[in-house]
Amino acid sequence: MLETGMKAPVFTLPDQEGKMVCLSDFAGKKVVLYFYPRDNTPGCTRQACAFAGAYEEFAKRDVVVIGISKDSVASHLKFAAKHALPFVLLSDPELQAIQAYGVWQEKKLYGKVSMGVVRTTFVIDEQGCIEKIMPKVKPDTNAAEILAYLAGEA
């Protein structure tokens, strides 16, 4: 179980263009790492578009935004292009980062139990430590809540 203050698990995953991205590539920068269930679903699209809409604010604060799901590189490329997403989407079909961050959990939907990604956001500090964990976030308010946190308002 990850907790604030712990070193963030490192990973190397392909982005929407197939380029390998490592968490350590962003050493010295604050990183907002959000895990989401699936490209092009209503909630995930709203969450991604909210991050895209707030992207300038994150950039002004020199904060990197990264979205991770188990979708393929090709799916991420289409999703990013369709919604003009200006940030990195990482493909994790083997659940490398998803399991390392503990977001692969049992979920209940309409009484049916299955395993899946629980929408969770991590703020990782410039030294690579977990600064904040936001479990079970709401897609529509997640980006705004993080900006409020970064501004010292939350």
What do you get for the CA distance between the two ends of the chain, in Å?
Answer: 23
89: helix, coil or strand?
A: strand
- For residue 71 the two structure tokens come to 């979708």
Compute, in degrees rounded to 10, the torsion defined by CA atoms 87, 91, 96, 101. 40
Whether residue 118 contacts residue 103, with contact meaning beta carbons closer than 8 Å, is answered with: yes
From 22, 44, 49, 129, active-site residue: 44
Q: Which residues contact 11 (CB under 8 A, 6 or more apart)?
A: 22, 23, 90, 92, 96, 97, 100
In the residue annotation, 129 being an active-site residue is answered as no
Place of tokens 């707030």: 54
Q: Which sequence positions are flagged as catalytic? A: 44
